[in-house]
Structure 1
């Protein structure tokens, strides 16, 4: 009994402690005048409001969050201390009852959020059951619908709220807003969306008739997205004369056939923006937009049309003629557009300034299939009579009004012979990224010329070669071609972009072309207006000295995530460069010219320059160039981004922190000066001694040396002719990357062993197409092979094309195989780690490789492991 009493007393103490939480301990004030007491079920509403009242003089809280606190009732006494609050959020609780006059004296309240509770606000008498202050401007009531009583529920009468502007409420099936809403002249926004603030709201309207919204005559913004709508009456919105924004997105079973009815009633409104996205489920065959679907759009005042995620594959010929002349913004992302005659009628977008067509033909998460309603085609409630604007005579007349850019096609037209503008003539912004476009960008004239477009984003496609020229686009200032697997840029590609200021080329394969003598100096030489150039992640190991010739306006240069060991580019023309990103390279020092240029530019422009050398190796040395660079780092350490985390090394190669680095650099002159004379004298002495010894040995053995040089030349520069057969197979089980010195191992060991397993191999000697660029052959071989096998040897590391093949396969694994490793490394012999690049070392540390051995038992195990890796 004694222990039971102690246990009971202990439980009492715990409960007493929980019930005595203080608001100042558990509420947060992240912003001025905002108090957040959400997620604290042991904080009573009375205690919080008392706290607000007591601190109101010094804190002046006007916004209060009380969500997820488990409240079930609200009384007048509970909230009397909160009467000074302007915005009150009490959503996501369990509130069933609110005392009638609880909010009556809230004379400052403008926003009240009661969403996702259990309030009986949709009843037959259309009364809330509690009084709201007339100062209220925003009211949120959604998430309170009781499905079991839905047939008996009605929208509440809120006509007493003479200042109400924004109402968020649940959508009721087969119900209409009462006539009292005609009196609410300030109500401009009504949202019934089933998707509210990232949560699944409650909206089950299903059928929108002529009476559903007829009393919302003052509303300008109407959101009925995700409301399970099946059909819309042809006159559903004609009484909403002030309507400017209509959102019908997320009604998966609505379909395009209802767009005709929607646009019919929108003729009588002041509509500006229509969102008709996701009116089909995500999966299934593609859709075609017909002339009938768009029949009444031409007579509306729409300036923005959104048709995202509708699986649109084709648009019927001449349908674009019905695009309204008022349209300025067109969004059609996440569709399945394929080429058709409608592409030759894009000029019918007479006044469109912005087009967004990103994410075409993308793969969707298959788990969405079960979550979305299945497509059905219910009977139409009502439709308009046969549309007179779909007739050929009217369409021809409309096309003539729109001008020569909008051509009408009759049945006998040969589309390919018609010289039409491809871009709308007023288009200024085009986004078409992540669309799986796989093209070689050859020369292409864009009509009309010159074109006013200013912004193009074609990133994350497969535009693997940029030959050009394309355009011209004399007004473009932003061009993004990143993540396109491009390895070649033509000399004239950028001729049409001479005024571009922001050029985004990251995550391509431009390393070789930028260092090439035939291309490097000329690719950017006409881009004198570029201010921001992004070349990160382009496998750049060296820059041509004239690659930035004539780029006098360049301010920000991003060369991060490459393999640059030393700066080789001339900086004479870079008179505005003040931001340089060299993160994740192999930089050890920067040349004096570059450092002086950054200093002088910053001083002349009255700005601070910045350099990012994060994840480079920065050793301390006594070389004069190294000393200048180290002193520069210390002097401008505040200009070095992330300086404290740089990879510093002392003269012994040990890692040191930034503080130790600074101390050693300060004493660098003293430490290096001690050995200057000794080093010079010793160097001269050793040089003289070695010259005498080597000279004597060369003279004594001059004939033997000549013989050895001749034999070495024959050995290393000879060749072995291989018989090969033509191979029409375009997909291989493996692409073998090897140095020619290891050819015997390939021919005698690997090929016979793999061909026994009926594996198809790709060899550069056998399958590379003659006349093609080597880099292109390599990339195609890797992409057409399930695995890339690198036969690693000392000779392999000496061959730039071998290293190039390794890096291409590594990039393929990272960016194109969804994280699946397609690279297998066979270590043929003991290779010193110092001979390997950082990328290869990192790869071998994080991925398993296979070592070859000539030992009989070991060789059997090697081939078993190798075949297992190939077939994985």
Structure 2
């Protein structure tokens, strides 16, 4: 430590560093034993779009393995009876919770305390009897609560205390008997907008029992309650716009008592269906809503003079919509709507109407919507032609069999016409000629077998045409050429066999055509019937009879002109025997995103099949006999995100290894033949988030050890139904669960190995450190000792005379003295043969070999010692090899010549060790300055002497 520098007591002392380093290594070892994060494999649920779906799993308790990051949880249709306080404690980001159709009769206090983000809670169809204090504590952000069809009889005063954000509440179909219970609810719900209390046991409705102050309710449903008295004595509903008090189950006549006509002045929709109401009460009711009502529903008015209440209602000047369903009307006579001059919408559905007077709608000058569906009409009512403002006409589910040319005459403003589910067998060319603004035409589920040119000239603005469920057998050329604006054409569930070339000519705006469930064969496709659908986006040909016997390329691929097609479906072709798919079947479909060829009995797929669909994202080839798939098949479709290969008899999923499907997110591979899944398969699909292997059985041994650990621990890929994977081998584990397999014996514990190896490294490091600090010189000496021993083996059997009299060991800095003083005297005057580095070492030979050969090839070794010499590594090695001859050959060949005075303290342990062995032949040049001739004589005598260990005659200076 430098002068003037104080000791830093915050720094570790020497020696403590090793201990602290050891502690760090040990802590790193312990981290290897940390339990991994739970993966995506759930026992009873699956996750879709961040919603955990556990419905229909026969659960009796809430699963505890739901990831805390889901924002939706569906536990509907199970057998849960009790909700525990800990069931949802980790789901703080949950926004939707569905618990309907269970058997819940008890909810523990604090159950919802941690669901601070919950927006929607569904408890419909359970067995709750009482809502206890603070039941919904913690749900301050809840906006929608459904309690339909429980057995609720009592509500505690603070049950809804926390629901300050609630806007919708459905507590219908329960056992509430007094409106005061509803008051208990409403007092804590300042933001409630919709309240549904239908089908309880409320016998009266008095506003003062509900609340004494104004509330923000906009919608109130009190239907299906036995209400005998409806009384409002204060303006408590200033924002109410929708009111339903219909479908009363009481046999009494309802008493209507609204003290002030302004109390319900904002109600625009009123439903009084099924009420027993007199004409006088109807007039009172009319006066109450005279300034605001726009829609009135009077369905199933069984014990009421319907005609009278209709005419009273129609005197409300603002009334525009009238619904009269389920009133068992047989005949609509001329004065039925006599006073309904302002009505724009009439709904007469679900009656028994057979006839309509030709003047029945004469007063409805501005009628826009007329619904007559589900009646007994046999033809289009003649009075319809007198409704020039009509925009929507629904005649579905009647007994109409024939359409005449003038049935829709003058309906130039009609936009939607529904004639589905009748008995129409044929069309006439003129039947739709006046419908120039028609956008939607529904003719499905009739008995149409001929179109007779009905769509060749007319309906220029039609966008949607539904002809499915008829008996069409062929599509003739130009059949739809007048439908220039058509976008959606439904022709499924017919008997179509022929699709002629030019069948769809003129349909340049068509984007969606449905041709599934017909009798279309490959010969129909060969005619080029789809060539004119240049803007088609979706084409459905499933459940037909398309079959190809081989994969040879077609001369005219059927979809070569459909470059904008995005979805093509051909699954479920009904044909005998196995089939193939032509290698260029998809030629031209450069923008195809979704292709389904499920269950068409394919034997193979040519590697070129998808060369024409570079943008494909979803591929379904399930339920075929493919057995194996080539990785090259997927090379052109690197954008694939979803792949379905279930029930294809695949022996393995190894095709994924070379397929390079790096964007694949969804893989369904159910019911196949493979039993082992390797790590390489899933390493090749780095984007996979959902894996469905349901219905496979697995080999339960170490071959699947990796897959078991991966299914449990990976946090990216959800392995659907993994906990139900069963074993098929070995026999003693058959039908056991794969995830119950004990795989500890299958692999070495990596953490334990790391612990042992790191501990060993630490110990070794410490041992080496201590050894180096205290024994480094002894180790160095031992190193050279054994090095010399190695070379001794090489030289001990050599025969013959020594090559040199002496080997001169010196440092480069002392070379001038050796050249000027030593060589002239010993070689020039005395005639000795000397060995020197620069002159006698063999070029290219290892230095250590040259040194060893020189020392063992010389009788003596003269070490010219100086301070530079002691610092030289090579000089140190030379003196050590020479010293070894003392042990090896029992010869003391070493002559030490000191060129300068060196204190004993500076001599290394090597030289002190020699002194311990034997004091012998030490010469000092500085002390021979007065008698140099004596120095050279002593050196000559030393060179001439024998190597006897007992010879001490030539001591000039004894250096202790």
Of the three residues 74, 83, 95, the one matched with 2:179 is 74
Mapping of residues 139-288 of structure 1, within 5 Å: 139-144=243-248, 146-147=250-251, 149=253, 159-170=262-273, 175=279, 177-178=282-283, 181=286, 184-194=290-300, 206-207=306-307, 211-237=311-337, 239-240=339-340, 242-252=342-352, 254-258=353-357, 260-267=358-365, 269=366, 271-280=367-376, 287-288=378-379
Asked if 1:512 corresponds to 2:548, the answer is: yes
Mapping of residues 515-594 of structure 1, within 5 Å: 515=550, 521-538=556-573, 541-568=579-606, 569-594=608-633
Mapping of residues 149-548 of structure 1, within 5 Å: 149=253, 159-170=262-273, 175=279, 177-178=282-283, 181=286, 184-194=290-300, 206-207=306-307, 211-237=311-337, 239-240=339-340, 242-252=342-352, 254-258=353-357, 260-267=358-365, 269=366, 271-280=367-376, 287-289=378-380, 292-297=382-387, 299=388, 301-322=389-410, 324-339=411-426, 342-361=428-447, 421=456, 423-435=458-470, 437-448=471-482, 451-472=484-505, 473-488=507-522, 489-490=524-525, 491-512=527-548, 515=550, 521-538=556-573, 541-548=579-586
- Alignment partner, residue 647 of structure 2: 615
Alpha carbons 2:205, 2:229 under 8 Å: kept: no
Asked if 1:105 corresponds to 2:218, the answer is: no
Structure 1 pair 346–213 and aligned structure 2 pair: CA distance change class (3 A): same
Q: Which runs of 5+ in 2 are unaligned?
A: 1-105, 110-127, 662-677, 713-960
Distance 2:247 2:595 in 1: 51
Distance 2:655 2:218 in 1: 71
Give the secondary-structure state (helix, strand or coil) at the position aligned to 1:594. Answer: helix
- Once the two structures are TM-superposed, the CA of residue 218 in structure 1 deviates from its matched residue by 0.7
Q: Which runs of 5+ in 1 are unaligned?
A: 1-13, 195-200, 281-285, 363-414, 603-607, 664-872
Mapping of residues 37-56 of structure 1, within 5 Å: 37-45=147-155, 47=156, 49-52=157-160, 54-56=161-163
- Once the two structures are TM-superposed, the CA of residue 661 in structure 1 deviates from its matched residue by 9.9
- Once the two structures are TM-superposed, the CA of residue 154 in structure 1 deviates from its matched residue by 11
Give the secondary-structure state (helix, strand or coil) at the position aligned to 1:312. Answer: coil
Alpha carbons 1:462, 1:484 under 8 Å: kept: yes
- Alignment partner, residue 136 of structure 1: 240
- Once the two structures are TM-superposed, the CA of residue 186 in structure 1 deviates from its matched residue by 2.9
Superposed CA deviations along residues 24-69 of structure 1, whole A, max 9, x for unmatched, are 6599989932233444435414x1x5322x324xx53333222222
Give the secondary-structure state (helix, strand or coil) at the position aligned to 2:635. Answer: helix
- Alignment partner, residue 739 of structure 2: none
Superposed CA deviations along residues 405-445 of structure 1, whole A, max 9, x for unmatched, are xxxxxxxxxx999999454222121011122x141334344
Distance 2:461 2:293 in 1: 36
- Alignment partner, residue 67 of structure 2: none
Give the secondary-structure state (helix, strand or coil) at the position aligned to 2:601. Answer: coil
Distance 2:143 2:444 in 1: 41
Superposed CA deviations along residues 326-378 of structure 1, whole A, max 9, x for unmatched, are 111111111110225x443322222111101122259xxxxxxxxxxxxxxxx
Distance 2:265 2:227 in 1: 23
Structure 1 pair 467–417 and aligned structure 2 pair: CA distance change class (3 A): closer
**Alignment coverage as a number of residue pairs:** 556
Distance 1:468 1:30 in 2: 64
Of the three residues 154, 170, 175, the one matched with 1:65 is 170
Alpha carbons 1:440, 1:465 under 8 Å: kept: yes
Higher relative contact order (CA 8 A, sep 6+): 2
Distance 1:316 1:50 in 2: 66
Structure 1 pair 479–162 and aligned structure 2 pair: CA distance change class (3 A): same
- Once the two structures are TM-superposed, the CA of residue 108 in structure 1 deviates from its matched residue by 1.9
Alpha carbons 1:111, 1:138 under 8 Å: kept: yes
Could you tell me the TM-score, scaled by structure 2's length? Answer: 0.51
Structure 1 pair 579–30 and aligned structure 2 pair: CA distance change class (3 A): farther
Alpha carbons 1:27, 1:35 under 8 Å: kept: no
Give the secondary-structure state (helix, strand or coil) at the position aligned to 2:539. Answer: strand
Alpha carbons 1:325, 1:349 under 8 Å: kept: yes
Could you tell me the TM-score, scaled by structure 1's length? Answer: 0.56
Structure 1 pair 25–107 and aligned structure 2 pair: CA distance change class (3 A): closer
Distance 1:136 1:562 in 2: 58
Distance 1:565 1:656 in 2: 33
Higher Cα Rg: structure 1 or 2? 2
- Alignment partner, residue 68 of structure 2: none
Superposed CA deviations along residues 830-862 of structure 1, whole A, max 9, x for unmatched, are xxxxxxxxxxxxxxxxxxxxxxxxxxxxxxxxx
- Alignment partner, residue 731 of structure 1: none
